Amino acid sequence: MPKDQAAQNKKNSIIKGVAVGIVSAGLILSLGSLIYGQAMSNKVLYGTKIGSVDVGGFGYAELFTTIKSESSNILTTPLKLSDQAQIVTLSDLGVEIDTDYLTDQVLENGKNSSVFNQLVSNLNILTKGQTIPWQLKAGAETQEKLSNLVSGQVYSPVDAKFTINNNLVAIEPAKDGMAVDVDGTLATLASRMNEEQPTSFEIKLATIPPVVDLVDLEPVLSQAVDIASQDLVLNYDGQKFTISQTELISWLAPIKNQDNTFGLQYNEGNLRTSLDQISQDTNKAPRAKQVSATDGSVISQGLAGKELDVDAAIKDITESLSLRVGDTGTSGEVQLVVKEVEAPVKEVQPKLAFGTGNAGLYDGKYIEVDLSNQVLYQFNGDQQIAHYIVSTGAWGTPTPIGTFAINNKSPRAYSSTYGLYMPYWMAFIGSSYGLHELPEWPNGYKEGQNHLGTPVSHGCVRLGEGAAGALYAWADIGTPVVIHN
């Protein structure tokens, strides 16, 4: 065999051996990775940490319990706000940790469907380790609570707007706002937890730009100048109201077009506010027409009201102002539409008149008791025979309201419930309620005349001495008794 051929064969043999070695090593690594992957399919890969907590080799239950416990510690650990004495916890701020999601994420970390990728992941995590940060999640109130801690540093942006300066329309520049950067604040805090549990934190702020800037309004400044070139007069049913240039400017609002340029529109909310102020001084509510609920007769005539037609007013005003653009000589007066408001019809129960009694309720004898005025009237048809000051039921024991009739009489009845005598008793509801003279105690003591005119009884109608006797002698069994407020 030639010398060169032998050398070539030796070289090929070495290459073949190296290739076989590489393939064998690859197979061994792949097999090892496969076995390792199978063994760790339901466990966390070794070398994995959550923050500073080593969780390598943990199964689901142990991992979940650890995350739950550590989360509780993180959320309840007191934190000092930088440059302040304020102490809070993340739980106080409404911050949360999604333990279910984090548990699943850690278990799946480094596990791929590709054998090669799985091998690379396993080797990287085993040799270099991998830290998964705690995922702090802002709650619904976190933004507000963080903002309250730095309230002096947080403010809303101010859009550029039209204003009146020395009777000239000008643009008031916009101002940036400042707000709490919740995501940035929590992300910074979470990254520090990779080393240790922090004892302080800093609230990060972010600049909030305005929606409308000075350059956005400059192209439509000339339109605003034309619209607010003079005051506007609104004529409401003969009354005139002047809208100043300052108020006119408040009716204008920028609107962003599809090409990101700005145009002008009318601020309907501000327009309505101005018109509502006028309405308060001019609108008149209708007065209801009252009719009897019993026979439909008119008790009192109603009166129609009037009110400003706000929708029509907005249409007429905006059309008039739009005509000013390019033509500052347009009339500055708008006639407002006034609507008549029909008077509603209200059914009412006719009220018995107070003070003089109500004659003619019955053709013959009847008794009327006015609870509001504490007066008893004695009628025969439309003729008043007499009237007396009485004392009716107290607040807790009121005299029944309605139409009744005397059903029995006794010159001196006795109440076993109260241990009192009731001279000239005239019952009108069973034997429980009646008309009688001021009650007497068994020892002869009589309730004083000063009780008359004040509702103090247990529900009966008390009359004074003399009055009760006269009424007793006059009234018959069956005499109607009408009691009302």
**Kind plus residue range of the DSSP H or E element containing 146:** helix 142-149
- Distance CA(117)–CA(330), nearest Å, equals 78
Q: Tell me which residue has tokens 């302040």.
A: 84
The string of pLDDT tens digits covering residues 410-429 is: 999 999 888 899 999 999 99
Q: Give 4 or 99, the one with higher predicted confidence.
A: 99
Q: What is the signed CA dihedral for 183, 188, 193, 196, rounded to 10 degrees?
A: -150
The string of pLDDT tens digits covering residues 451-478 is: 888 999 999 999 988 899 999 999 999 9
Average pLDDT, the chain: 85
- Closest listed residue to residue 161, CA positions, set 218, 243, 223: 218
Confidence of residue 209 (pLDDT cuts 50, 70, 90): very high
Asked if residue 436 has pLDDT above 50, the reply is yes
Q: Which residues lie below 8 Å from residue 274, measured CB to CB, with a gap of 6+?
A: 243, 247, 251
Q: Give 220 or 29, the one with higher predicted confidence.
A: 220
Looking at residue 23, what is its pLDDT? 47
On the question of a common fold for 221-348 and 365-484, the answer reads: no
Q: Give the residue-averaged pLDDT of 393-406.
A: 95
Confidence of residue 157 (pLDDT cuts 50, 70, 90): very high
**One-character DSSP codes across 106-131:** HHHTT--SSHHHHHHHHHHHHHH-EE
From first CA to last CA, the distance across the chain in angstroms is: 141
Task: Tell me the percentage of the chain whose pLDDT exceeds 70.
Answer: 85
- Closest listed residue to residue 161, CA positions, set 231, 220, 209: 220
Could you say which of 3.40.1210.10, 3.30.70.1230, 3.10.20.800, 3.40.50.1000 is the CATH number of the domain covering 221-348?
Answer: 3.10.20.800
Q: Give 33 or 317, the one with higher predicted confidence.
A: 317
Q: Are 396 and 458 a contacting pair, CB within 8 Å? A: no
Structure tokens at 186: 């929590």
- At residue 433, the 3 state secondary structure works out as strand
Q: Give the residue-averaged pLDDT of 226-232.
A: 87
Asked if residue 350 has pLDDT above 70, the reply is no
Q: Give the residue-averaged pLDDT of 11-16.
A: 58
- Distance CA(30)–CA(15), nearest Å, equals 22
Q: Are 350 and 294 a contacting pair, CB within 8 Å? A: yes
How buried is 482 (Cβ within 10 angstroms: 0-12 exposed, 13-18 middle, 19+ buried)? Answer: buried
| Alpha-helical runs (H) found in 283-352 | 310-322
Structure tokens at 328: 């500052």
Confidence of residue 9 (pLDDT cuts 50, 70, 90): low
The CA angle 8-9-10, to the nearest 5 degrees, is 90
Highest mean pLDDT among 169-173, 291-295, 323-327, 346-350: 169-173
The greatest distance separating any two alpha carbons of the chain, rounded to the nearest whole angstrom, comes to 164
- Tell me the domain boundaries of the chain: 52-107+131-211, 221-348, 365-484
- Distance CA(43)–CA(110), nearest Å, equals 11
Q: Give the residue-averaged pLDDT of 65-93.
A: 89
Q: Give the residue-averaged pLDDT of 317-321.
A: 90
Asked if residue 352 has pLDDT above 70, the reply is no
- At residue 303, the 3 state secondary structure works out as strand
Q: Give the residue-averaged pLDDT of 269-276.
A: 93
* 365-484: in CATH 3.40.50.980: no
Gyration radius of the chain over CA positions: 47
Confidence of residue 106 (pLDDT cuts 50, 70, 90): confident
Lowest-confidence pick of 110-119, 138-147, 395-404: 110-119
